Amino acid sequence: MVIIIFIIVLWYSGLFFQTFFLHRYAAHQTYTMSKFGEKLCFILTWITQGSNYLSAYGYGVMHRMHHAFADTEKDPHSPKYDPNPLAMMWRTKNVYQQINKQKIAIEEKFTKNVPQWKAFDKFASSWYSRIGWGAFYTVFFIIFAEYWWHWLLLPVAILMAPIHGMIINWFGHIYGYVNFKVNDTSKNLFRFDWLM
């Protein structure tokens, strides 16, 4: 039971900071916060996302580009140009890394006021951090896994943010329904909203 509770807490706490901090704050700037609050959210995002930590800068810029270029070849994660969800997520990962490491030129409208804490992001995105979290999850499973099938949830813990991204960006554009005509492939998945 401990493993199930752990996965549920990890799932929804990671989603909370992805929505509250990365999406609503970093990408859309729907509210303001102090520098202390911002740095606290960086740290809490790292704690809740662990091995799949996403930088507010990389996420914020990429998400703004997604809205600006929805379902065009410039969209960082439109399923329209990929044969399957794994191909889409691989492309998304590559675009995210190029943005986050500032290896590609980005228009200022996409970077304006996006929070950035370079030193923390370097640490939180490092292989040391990611492998450390993976090791922590593995030790946690060694101690608390009661049944063989609990081990099937370890990859979910390690890859949770990409799984979230795949659900939203693949299934939310391929399946579901629309209430009115839009210029992109986004769809509603109301019956599964509790999951995300």
Local confidence band at 14 (pLDDT 50, 70, 90 cut-offs): very high
Structural domain count of the chain = 1
Local confidence band at 28 (pLDDT 50, 70, 90 cut-offs): very high
Q: Domain range holding 23?
A: 2-195
Q: What type of residue sits at position 116?
A: Q
Q: Would you list the DSSP string of the chain?
A: -HHHHHHHHHHHHHHHHIIIIIIIIIIT--S---HHHHHHHHHHHHHHHGGG---HHHHHHHHHHHHHTTTSTT-TT-GGG-SSHHHHHHHHHHHHHHHHTT-S---HHHHTT----HHHHHHHTSHHHHHHHHHHHHHHHHHH--SGGGGGGHHHHHTHHHHHHHIIIIIHHHSSB-SS--SS---B-GGGGGG-
Answer whether 54's CB lies under 8 Å from 76's CB: no
The mean per-residue pLDDT over the stretch 86-95 comes to 88
pLDDT score for 193: 65
pLDDT score for 191: 66
Tens digits of residue pLDDT in 91-107: 888 988 999 888 888 88
> In this predicted structure, which of 83-87, 109-113, 126-130, 149-153 has the lowest mean pLDDT?
83-87
Tens digits of residue pLDDT in 32-47: 999 999 999 999 999 9
Within 10 A of 49 (CB to CB), how many other CB atoms are there?
Answer: 22
